[in-house]
Structure 1
Amino acid sequence: MSFALMMLAGMALDLGLGWPDRLHARIGHPVTWLGKAISALECHLNRGSRNVRLCAGALTTGAIVLLAVLPALALQTALPDSIAGSLIGAVLAWPLIALRSMHDHVAAVAHALAGGDLHGARRAVSMIVGRDPARLDTAGVARAATESLAENSSDGIIAPVFWGVVAGLPGIAAYKAVNTLDSMIGHRTDRYEAFGKVAARLDDVVNWVPARLTGVLFALASGRHVGRGLKAMIRDAAKHRSPNAGWPESAMAAALDIRLSGPRVYGDRVSDEPWLNDGAADPAPRDLFRALSLYRRAMFLCALALGALALL
């Protein structure tokens, strides 16, 4: 069985179909299934002293990963070791690759901004970022959407595909479990700092390679600006609060010749983040369309790499 072919076909399915609304309404989505299990465990176990919460969070993380991996392993074991098995595996992997939904979410922001609808753009960007959209001006909305596109290209596409190539269905299932855990409990708040610590650190580990690969893909997809993107990653990635997100974000910022990151507001807290590609202009609405074009080219390069691996 070719895991590379499995992931390539899974990307093609997601590109063509997304995750249909009717299917979501009928059965939900594997990530929402995991989310319900995480919420139930967190509600019952996230209590007591810091050390107790830390241990409970570690147990929760392990239990959720196993809950995702064991069925995936059983399914993969049952698949024939053939092209047909790879294609069946692609259908199973398809819901865990967010290729189309990422593009559609950012495109909604881009079209609203291009039409001068700041309120609609704020509403659209609130679907993909955690900061307060009501405080964002046009440049702030464009910057938030561009950053989300860059970071989630790694988290939502390259990372699951990478782990799928490495370990097949168990690999992609384990990654999505860890990433979902991090998004739900990996926050630096009084409630989650201890309980979600293991999940957050594990998410950093599993995204280390994919984040850097995503940055390289953005740099390569920028064509004649490839050197500028690579230099920006080396120079700016470590400035980011995340050990991983700075790589794709700095590469995208350099490729588009805009600045990203910088100060932002989460609730009533101001996070004074340094700029990536400092000295460049803030993104304008048209830059979101340029970012989407760069995204499409980078994903095409990813598909070409998967095709080459499948042939080998």
Structure 2
Amino acid sequence: MGSVAPSQERTSLMINYIDTAVARSRTTLSVFVAIMLTGFASYLAIPVELNPDVDVPIIVTTIIHEGISPEDAERLLAKPAELELKTLDGITQISSFSSENAATIITEFDIDFESSTALADVREAINRSKARFPQNTEEPLITEVSAAELPIVQIAIGGEGVAERVLLRIAEELQREIEILPTVLEAAMVGNREEMLEAVIDPAKLETYGIPNSAIVQAVTSNNRLIPAGQVDTGQGSFSVKVPGLIENANDLFDLPLASSGDGVLTVSDIADVRRTFKDATRYAFANGSSSISLNVMKRNGANLVEAMTQVDAVVNEIRPTLPPAVSV
């Protein structure tokens, strides 16, 4: 009795499949159309992602304490947290680095970790270590690492010789327009400095009027707050009453009274010059070698990447003709 070669057997089986499909052509076409429609529907439903939302077995903890040195941050913040984290199961590595004002601990888990359970365990361990932290330490920030949290695009606003305040106004306007898009989660600003009012006090005038420094600090602190005054019931309804006391512009600070006598009222403008300025920079952004302000645009979870990029491009192209000639985006 002769034997059939495996290749011949596979060929014969394939021919039988083809003959069956041809003999039942309507069934074959129906199955083919159903597969095509299912694939097309899946293509429309699946979001396009630059960085798919993959669970990364890493949890980052940031502990902030203003004014602490890197050495003290390691000894007083990082070490107590590491000791508690080492008691958790499933951890493969714990690394930390300390800097001015903060300590950061990176906890790596096994690849088969459950993100919700791991996050709860880390939070519980950090809560236990908080008893060893110095006073005035801020609440630790515990976040998961996710590829989906990376920005989809970075927009830099800059220009050679352009005033910082002009760049800030343009960046704020562009940020507002982008963040109202339905596919955008946020457009975080990088490289900007917060505006502030700076009072330059004349020591000679301060001594002449006999006003101590503490009186100026107390006057600004006491008059820069919003005081709720309760509610007024009119019989047909009620409304809240607030006493406006916030310093919103330079004139509010200029007219702030410090002392009074029979000759008149002494205000801040009598002993100091008030000017608008910026806080010291903590982060910088550069584009093409010049200082700039950047917007890191992040899309919403599940939003289509192509659609989000198209909407952001439309906003940028719409605002670009209104910019000063020296400003580039």
TM-score bin, normalised by smaller chain = under 0.3
TM-score (norm 2): 0.20
Larger proportion of helix: 1
TM-score (norm 1): 0.20
Larger proportion of strand: 2
Larger Rg: 2
